[in-house]
Amino acid sequence: MNLPAGVRALRVVAALEGISFVVLLIGSVLKRTTETDLVPVLGPVHGALFVAVVLLVLSEWSWLRWRVPFAVLLLTVLSPGVHFAVQATVEQRRAEHATA
């Protein structure tokens, strides 16, 4: 089963967004415990990746078939976990395709 280009992009961008979130948290700790302040650089990078994830989720909405409450929860509270949700959805679609 070939994945749509948008879903492939979403998988990559969602993984990068999750990583950038963790790096931003580390940067925030460093800002408060050392003289190192990476937040002005890391914050906008993470923000841009988050916006890209939201736009990709919206563009691939029909393929993902996520319910609105799930997507809202995922994109607000659980945003670093979007990659895992996309991966689970991909595996589910592949299983559906294999049995069809």
pLDDT score recorded for residue 80: 84
**Residues 79, 20 contacting (CB under 8 angstroms):** no
Question: What proportion of the chain, given as a percentage, has pLDDT over 90?
Answer: 84
For CA atoms 3, 93, 79, 33, the dihedral sign is negative
pLDDT score recorded for residue 97: 86
Both ends of the chain: CA-CA distance in Å? Answer: 12
pLDDT tens for each residue of 30-55: 999 999 999 999 999 999 999 999 99
Predicted confidence (pLDDT) at residue 1 exceeds the cutoff of 80: no
Longest dimension (CA), the chain: 58
Domain regions of the chain by residue span: 5-99
pLDDT category, 85, cuts 50, 70, 90?
very high
